[in-house]
Amino acid sequence: MSPATVDMAPKQPVRFLLVGVGPHAKRTFVKHLRDLKAEDRGEMVAAIDIAAKKSEIEEYATENLPDVELVFVPFFRETMPEEVQNQLTEVVKRLEVDCVIVSTEPECHKPYGLWAIGLGLHVIMDKPITTRRDACNSIKQAAGIADDYNELLHAYEELQTRKTTFFLINSHRRYHPGYYGTADFISDIRKKTGCPVTSLISTHCDGQWRLPSEVVEQHYHPFKYGYGKVSHSGYHFLDTAYRFFKAGWNPEKRPDEIEIVSTFVRPNDFMGAFTNEEHSRILGDRGYDESCKYTADELRWLMEDMGEMDAMLQITFKQRGQTMAVAQLNLFHTGFARRSWVDQGATPDLYKGCGRVKHEAHEIRSGPFQTVVIDSRQANDKHDRSKPSTAELGSDNHFEIQTWRNCNILGEQEPLKVYTVSDLDRRYNSKLPGIYAENTKRGILWEALDFLDGSKGVDDLASNLPDHSVPASLMSAAYISHVRRTAGLNPITHIDIAYSSQCENGVARATVRAADLIQQPSSPSERSMPITPAVSNSNIQTLQAPGGLGEFSKAFEASGAVDYTVPIINAEDGIQVQAIH
């Protein structure tokens, strides 16, 4: 088979198709593509969203996407319907699209990715690569996260035998000077001493406070579908941890096995820590009681199998049976927030609004030679309206790196150096105006253009799909570990690692160990429910009540059923359960 060759450089400007016009895309891709159009380097020619949002997207597009063709499709998850494939393929060919940006719900990422690969297109995909409904409750669904990645990777690698394209994952810390600068510090110690990273502690807190009714009903960054924080921003830190450890590896010192143990805090756990009654006491004079749609018992029932709000992951890297490094990742939705109100208004900013305040910290140790500390903490939730935006603690742009180094061994003058955002700008010639963390998100578009104009090769891409095998498998294994724990099984979940070559740049390929994919004997909800008759196809009836809990209760009583499974709640069908007779 002849080697793949890069096609002729595409027409200028590069033509992008955006899938998903949600809060994240509006704040990042729409804004940055507008800048590229002004520079005559790229433009958005079409945008796709679901038909249910047609009026909302059309209203937004009038002002923000005036020259963009809008395409509306039905909602789907696992497989793209044939009629949708035909519809979108016609758009791609007619508008001569070069690159598809997938920024829709992660449950829908895989079918869009496979479709774009099938057309030989370049792809930019938001993190996480995929997730699965009920990943918190089913080993099959949890393992499906890794399966989805591998299916995309196989399709991408097959395409590369015929044509060289990129499939970039928008894990934007790979484009942040603070993070690739830290990788440089780690590599420097490895080269000078031979010591890899030996331990890491990472903490990220969204600083959000969603009220109970919002937890039950919210569709954006949801918990209601059986996944949560790990599938939201959590992927960033699985990926960042991998990149930090990778910077310290060499062919003689790199893991062949990873163990992961996860502990999740789910909505019912949080409601035990801070009850519905306590919400009422704190926020009652601000309209909480009037806004809360559910009783404490109804909330407990509805939240039973929801996804994780907070997660703590313990990760062990092993080589030939010996522990070579350990990591702890603290991934929190819950923490210091600025919300003090109940009513979010008719069109709340669910991405950066709602009182969200980000805190992030990392400590990376390379034996007795170096500790790198990264600290980024905001005090203000009104990011776009706080002026000036400085790099001081608590400001929108607070970001600091400290390097603590064994200066006598390393032949250096000082043990401590501190790098601010301005220092990083000068060090990497990467000055970015505005909110620093927001502007690094344009990096993936700039890298795509560098590839398309021939100034960067596929092996030089910072975030191409083949280099995401380890973080995608870690995400899958984190959910598997949780399901095993709740089923009373050993929560340690294993990932085996192989490398594409023995050289330093060999790509890591991760595989979740098959022996750990044991289906749990019962779901958490089944163990907490009253004893019920044996369930068979002959005594199960599907109950559906679009009107909500009140209508469901009437339907349940009228059915003569004695019990029910955990409810499925969605916007189209209301509440649906399997009633047991």
Per-residue pLDDT, 554: 53
Which helix (H) or strand (E) segment is 144 a member of? helix 139-160
Q: Report residue 544 CA to chain centroid gap.
A: 31
Domains of the chain are 14-169 (3.40.50.720), 172-340+352-430+465-516 (3.30.360.10)
d(CA 471, CA 257): 13
Which helix (H) or strand (E) segment is 260 a member of? strand 257-265
The structure tokens listed for 86 are 């035909």
List helix spans (H) across 133-292: 139-160, 177-193, 212-217, 234-247, 267-273, 276-283, 288-291
Per-residue pLDDT, 499: 96
Tell me the three state secondary structure of residue 105.
coil
Tens-level pLDDT at each residue, the chain (581 residues): 333 433 545 558 999 999 999 989 998 999 999 999 999 999 999 999 999 999 999 999 999 999 999 999 999 998 999 999 999 999 999 999 999 999 999 999 999 999 999 999 999 999 999 999 999 999 999 999 999 999 999 999 999 999 999 999 999 999 999 999 999 999 999 999 999 999 999 999 999 999 999 999 988 889 999 999 999 999 999 999 999 999 999 999 999 999 999 999 999 999 999 999 999 999 988 899 999 999 999 999 999 999 999 999 999 999 999 999 999 999 999 999 999 999 988 777 766 777 889 999 999 999 999 999 999 999 988 755 444 456 788 888 889 999 999 999 999 999 999 998 778 777 776 544 444 455 577 889 999 999 999 999 999 999 999 999 999 999 999 999 999 999 999 999 999 999 998 777 789 999 999 999 976 454 444 444 333 333 344 444 555 554 444 454 455 556 655 444 444 444 444 555 554 44
d(CA 563, CA 394): 51
Q: For residue 178, which of 347, 340, 374 has the smallest C-alpha distance? A: 374
pTM of the model: 0.87
Tell me the three state secondary structure of residue 252.
coil
User: What is the distance in angstroms between the CA of the first residue and the CA of the last residue of the chain?
Assistant: 61
Count other Cβ atoms within 10 Å, centred on residue 248. Answer: 25
Laid out side by side, the sheet with 42-50 consists of 69-73, 42-50, 14-19, 99-102, 122-126, 167-170
Per-residue pLDDT, 446: 93
The CA-based dihedral angle spanning residues 68, 31, 430, 7, taken in that order and rounded to the nearest 10 degrees: -20
Of the CA atoms within 13 Å of residue 547, those in its CB half-sphere come to 6
